[in-house]
């Protein structure tokens, strides 16, 4: 089994990095280094956009080989080589604007290098302050650049109504405060598929780790899907293996379980 896995994909929040933590657990950092020494390429697979990554200093010093960002909508190698991009249709976003304006919903329109909110409210304030996001003319941004994802701040019970006003889109949630809106057919599996294709690998040669609702399909897609002990029930049900919590050596334990690293 260990010889067949050539690429490993890791969600960030709740997988590599415990929620509200500022550092990756030492056991996780050591396990990632051991994995690379054994010739397995390591990738981030996150709902976060590229503009978040420089602010995540917890990841500093870990030489990831590439990044699956915005839930698979924008993928690139560590040297900046673009592998895949999949934007939301501008027509769908134009249809959405009157609805979010009427209902005063706080929504971030996420580009490759920029995030613009139509408004900031009590739900989105802390997030926007932490990331340095501000409000702007989102209608103009729709016309100016590809929008790969929306970060929409509303409760889960409002999701169906929101999607009815954003045709051709789907939703994945990994946070109680907001949901990520993607183009239909998008998601982390599509990002993994394009990365693996660029590497000349098959899905059976991959392992993926996750904990949230946006990781469910990725865990099903990878050759081995591992859910953290702190994962949501849906992620655990989708996984081939459930390990310990991310802050209790769960990631390293799973890699040892599958023979991908030794006892070091």
Which pLDDT does position 264 carry in this prediction? 59
Say how far residue 6 (Cα) sits from the centre of its chain: 20
CA distance 259 to 264: 12
Task: Identify whether the C-beta of residue 39 lies closer than 8 Å to the C-beta of residue 6.
Answer: yes
Q: Is 50 exposed, middle or buried (0-12, 13-18, 19+ CB in 10 A)?
A: middle
Mean pLDDT of 158-186: 92
* pTM exceeding 0.75: yes
Please report, to the nearest 10 degrees, the dihedral formed by the alpha carbons of residues 258, 260, 263, 264 taken in order. -160
What is residue 64's three-state secondary structure? coil
- Band of the pLDDT at 138, cuts 50, 70, 90? very high
- Band of the pLDDT at 130, cuts 50, 70, 90? confident
Q: Per residue in 4-52, pLDDT tens?
A: 999 999 999 999 999 888 899 999 999 999 999 999 999 999 999 998 8
Average pLDDT score over the chain: 94
Nearest to 253 by CA among 36, 30, 62: 30
What is residue 45's three-state secondary structure? strand
What is residue 54's three-state secondary structure? helix
180, pLDDT greater than 90: yes
Nearest to 30 by CA among 259, 255, 206: 255
Give the angle subtended at the CA of 19 by the CAs of 138 and 87, to the nearest 5°. 30
Query: First-to-last CA distance in the chain?
Result: 19
Q: Token pair of 122, please?
A: 């009590």
Task: Identify whether the C-beta of residue 31 lies closer than 8 Å to the C-beta of residue 8.
Answer: no
3, pLDDT greater than 80: no
Mean pLDDT of 167-172: 94
2, pLDDT greater than 80: no
Which pLDDT does position 197 carry in this prediction? 97
Which pLDDT does position 256 carry in this prediction? 97
Which pLDDT does position 156 carry in this prediction? 87
Which pLDDT does position 20 carry in this prediction? 81
Strands of the sheet containing 74-77, edge to edge, are 82-85, 74-77, 66-69, 41-45, 7-10, 206-210, 224-227, 241-242
Q: Per residue in 80-108, pLDDT tens?
A: 999 999 999 999 999 999 999 999 999 99
In Å, how far are 90, 235, 246 from 212, measured between CA atoms?
28, 6, 12
In Å, how far are 12, 29, 246 from 59, measured between CA atoms?
9, 9, 15
CA distance 65 to 67: 7
Task: Identify whether the C-beta of residue 42 lies closer than 8 Å to the C-beta of residue 76.
Answer: no
């Amino acid at each position: 089994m260990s010889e067949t896995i050539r690429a490993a994909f890791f969600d960030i929040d709740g997988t590599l990095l415990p929620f509200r933590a500022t550092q990756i657990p030492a056991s996780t950092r050591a396990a990632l280094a051991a994995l690379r020494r054994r010739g397995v390429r390591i990738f981030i697979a996150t709902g976060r956009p590229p503009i978040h990554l420089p602010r995540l200093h917890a990841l500093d010093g870990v030489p990831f080989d590439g990044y699956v960002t915005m839930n698979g909508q924008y993928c690139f190698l560590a040297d900046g080589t673009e592998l895949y991009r999949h934007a939301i249709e501008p027509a769908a976003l134009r249809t959405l604007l009157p609805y979010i304006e009427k209902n005063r919903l706080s929504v971030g329109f996420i580009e490759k290098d920029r995030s613009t909110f139509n408004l900031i409210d009590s739900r989105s304030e802390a997030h926007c302050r932490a990331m340095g996001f501000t409000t702007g003319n989102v209608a103009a941004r729709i016309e100016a650049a590809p929008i790969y994802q929306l970060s929409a701040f509303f409760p889960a019970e409002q999701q169906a109504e929101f999607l009815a006003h954003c045709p051709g889109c789907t939703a994945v949630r990994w946070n109680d405060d907001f949901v990520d809106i993607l183009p239909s057919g998008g998601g982390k599996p599509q990002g993994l598929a394009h990365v693996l294709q660029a590497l000349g690998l098959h899905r059976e040669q991959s392992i993926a780790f996750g904990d949230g609702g946006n990781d469910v399909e990725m865990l099903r897609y990878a050759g081995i899907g591992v859910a953290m002990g702190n994962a949501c029930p849906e992620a655990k049900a989708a996984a081939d293996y459930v390990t310990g919590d991310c802050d209790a050596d769960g990631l390293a334990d799973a890699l040892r379980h599958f023979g991908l690293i030794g006892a070091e």
